[in-house]
Amino acid sequence: MATITTLAGNEFAPELPGRLLRIVRDIRDAGGRAFLVGGWVRDALLGKNCRDYDIEVYDIGQEELVPILKNYGKTNLVGKAFGVIHLAMKGESLDFSFPRTESKVGYGHRGFVVHTDEKLSFREAALRRDFTINAMGMELPDLTLCDPYGGIDDLKAHVLRHVGPAFAEDSLRILRGVQFASRFECTLAPETAELCRTLSLADLSVERLFEEFKKWLLKPGRPSMGLRAFLDIGLEGFFPEVVPLAGSWEALGRLLDNMAGARAAASVGEPPALGDDECSELAFAALLSGNALGKASGGAGGVKPVAEKFLARITNEIHLLKKVPELLSCYGGLDFEKVPSAPELRRLAVRLGGLKLLCLLVQSTPAPVAGNPGFAAALQEAALEIGVYDAAPQPYLTGKMLLDMGMKPGKHMGDIIKRSFELQLDGEIKNISDALTWAKEINLSLSV
């Protein structure tokens, strides 16, 4: 079993499927060479296993490789223009490609002409990659490192450095730098930040923007490092809705890091864990939180349109477009010195579908901004006590109950249920029995 030395100096034996090693043997017998490339190499050097295997094949062509792969599973030419062949294997993903060069000929991320050339050197092929930490390869089967652009030194130094001029041909790489900075706790090399500042994101689709924001805010890492890269590139000019928290970018970075920690803890702890949608809602609310507590929005009343504008630029996901602005509005309306009353909490829960995300956002707010250090815990305790932490209160009174007591159908039934629910939120109706008693009195007065 092949082993490598990690950046920490430990011996590590990465997981390599037996089938992959047999394929590599056949490739070598046919006169070819095979390199694991990209994220797999980076993760291995960090002592992590990765089950997505990207293999770059040199010195043999597609007409020789495809018959080899067909001996091991079903092949799918997923990127004909890029020479990418996917091999379906249970529980694992194997993608084989050929060394290639790319030429920018048009607008957008599709405006490239790709030339595959199995005779390219690894150094020549790696020149098209984005950052040096992603331009390394390990030749199979012995996992011999090939690092033509100093990626291992940059990974050790936690520096993101672009490989070469081709970086500028795909503007998505700007945001990739932000999410990589967060995930691997890196800073941008000054020359890379300078290059990024000359590029525009205007040619990118909503879908591509959203994927990079999600990786920044939701994958494990330090989101504050992503924010630092975001600012080094000057992206607050392109996304003016991202503003400092209470006038401080450092405070926003701390809130983002606290949010990531709170989200991770909530995903495994009690009260009930966060779902995927809730994780996204909390993350994007944290990113835009400066609009709720800062001066830029003119207070809580202005945060919703700002959040809506930003989200509409990067996503089509309805739950985010609906819930994040409402969450920020409720967050901005809090008095951090005083926990809202029970009726106020119930009404907040109705707006948000429960107070879990609001509590976590408050919990993530840095102490100098939040003021009262006990407020977050007191808010959660109050929400749990009256049963609105994980879900909104539901009306005790229903239309069926009114019909069962002999009330005639009509618009007045909806009005009665609404009035009953308001009393329930105020705490004057405490259970179904109270609701029925109140409704019977109303019904009696209608019958007179």
Specify the CATH number for the domain of residue 82.
3.30.460.10
The answer, yes or no, to whether residue 242 has pLDDT greater than 80, is yes
Inside any domain, residue 199 = yes
Tell me the chain's radius of gyration from C-alpha atoms.
Answer: 28
Is residue 264 located within the same domain as residue 349?
A: yes
- Residue 93 in any domain: the answer is yes
**Across residues 189-200, what is the average pLDDT?**
97
**Average pLDDT in the 65-89 region?**
81
Provide the pLDDT for residue 299.
47
CA distance 74 to 66: 10
Contact by Cβ (8 Å): 211, 236 = no
Do 388 and 302 share a structural domain? Answer: yes
Q: Same structural domain for residues 251 and 339? A: yes
pLDDT at 113 over 70: no
Residues 341-362 have pLDDT tens digits of 999 999 999 999 999 999 999 9
Whose tokens are 């939701």? That residue is 218
**217, 239, 261 - which closes a domain:** 239
Q: What is the mean pLDDT of residues 142-163?
A: 97
- Write down the pLDDT at residue 418: 95
Q: Both 265 and 319 in a single domain? A: yes
* Residue 128 within a domain: yes
Domain boundary among 377, 393, 409: 393
Q: Is the pLDDT of residue 4 over 90?
A: yes
pLDDT of residue 178: 98
In tens, the pLDDT along 31-44 reads: 999 999 999 999 99
Please state whether 49 falls in left (phi above 0), alpha (psi between -120 and 50) or beta: beta
pLDDT at residue 74 in the model: 84
**3-state SS, one letter per residue, for the chain:** CCCEECCCCCEECCCCCHHHHHHHHHHHHCCCEEEEECHHHHHHHCCCCCCEEEEEEECCCHHHHHHHHHCCCCEEEEEHHHCEEEEEECCEEEEEECCEEEEECCCCCCCEEEEECCCCCHHHHHCCCCEHHHCCEEECCCCEEECCCCHHHHHHHCEECECCHHHHHCCHHHHHHHHHHHHCCCEECHHHHHHHCCCCCCCCCHHHHHHHHHHHHHCCCCHHHHHHHHHHHCCCCCCCCCCCECCEHHHHHHHHHHHHHHHHHHCCCCCCCCCHHHHHHHHHHHHCCHHHHCCCCCCHHHHHHHHHHHHHHHCCCHHHHHHHHHHHHHHHCCCCCCCCCHHHHHHHHHHHCCCHHHHHHHHHCCHHHHCCCCHHHHHHHHHHHCCCCCCCCCCCCCHHHHHHCCCCCCHHHHHHHHHHHHHHHHCCCCCHHHHHHHHHHHHHHHHC
- Please indicate, yes or no, if residue 204 is contained in any of the structural domains: yes
Q: Which amino acid is at 341?
A: S
> Do 380 and 360 belong to one domain?
yes
pLDDT given for residue 79 in this prediction: 56
State yes or no: pLDDT of 112 exceeds 70. Answer: no
Q: Span 57-73, mean pLDDT?
A: 92
Whether residue 298 is predicted with pLDDT greater than 50 in this model: the reply is no
Report the alpha-carbon distance of residue 282 to residue 300 in Å, rounded. 17
Q: What confidence tens digit (pLDDT) does each residue in 117-137 have?
A: 888 999 999 999 999 999 999
Assigned token pair, 398: 């229903």
pLDDT of residue 448: 47
Contact 172, 204 (CB under 8 A): yes
Q: For residue 201, tell me if it sits in a domain.
A: yes
Q: Is the domain of 410 the same as that of 354?
A: no
* CA 232/CA 177 separation, integer angstroms: 11
Average pLDDT over residues 384-402: 95
Q: With beta carbons less than 8 A apart as the criterion, state whether 331 and 292 touch.
A: yes
Helix axes 342-352, 411-426, angle to 10 degrees: 130
Q: Which of 29-38, 107-116, 381-390 has the lowest mean pLDDT?
A: 107-116
Mean pLDDT of 31-60: 94
Asked whether the beta carbons of 227 and 329 are under 8 A apart, the reply is no
Q: State whether 276 and 370 are in the same domain.
A: yes
Is residue 338 scored above 80 in pLDDT? yes
**Tokens (6 digits) for 300:** 């809580």
Task: Identify the pLDDT of residue 104.
Answer: 53
Specify the pLDDT at position 366: 95
Q: Are residues 355 and 408 in the same domain?
A: no
Domain hosting 222: range is 171-239
| Judgement on whether residues 215 and 311 belong to the same structural domain of the protein | no
Mean pLDDT of 327-354: 96
Q: What is the pLDDT at residue 301?
A: 53
pLDDT higher for 180 or 411? 180
Q: Are residues 416 and 312 in the same domain?
A: no
Between 328 and 78, the more confident residue is 328
75 Cβ neighbours under 8 A, 6+ residues apart: 66, 69, 85, 86, 87, 88
300 pLDDT more than 60: no
User: Is the pLDDT confidence value at 96 over 90?
Assistant: yes
Average pLDDT of 145-162? Answer: 97
Length of the chain: 448
Q: Is 251 left (phi over 0), alpha (psi -120 to 50) or beta?
A: alpha
The pair of structure tokens assigned to 44 is: 């291995």
Tokens of 279: 């994780």
What is the number of structural domains in the chain? 4
Q: Higher model confidence: residue 21 or residue 271?
A: 21
pLDDT at 297: 43
Mean pLDDT confidence for 185-196: 98
Does residue 178 share a domain with residue 65?
Answer: no
Q: Is residue 166 part of a domain?
A: no
Closest CA to 74 of 102, 94, 55: 94
Judged by phi (left if over 0) then psi (alpha if -120 to 50, else beta), residue 34 lies in beta
What does the mean pLDDT of the chain come to?
91
264 with 344, same domain: the answer is yes
Of the candidates 393, 413, 433, which is a domain's last residue?
393
| Domain assignment of residue 65, yes or no | yes
- Mean pLDDT, residues 385-389: 97
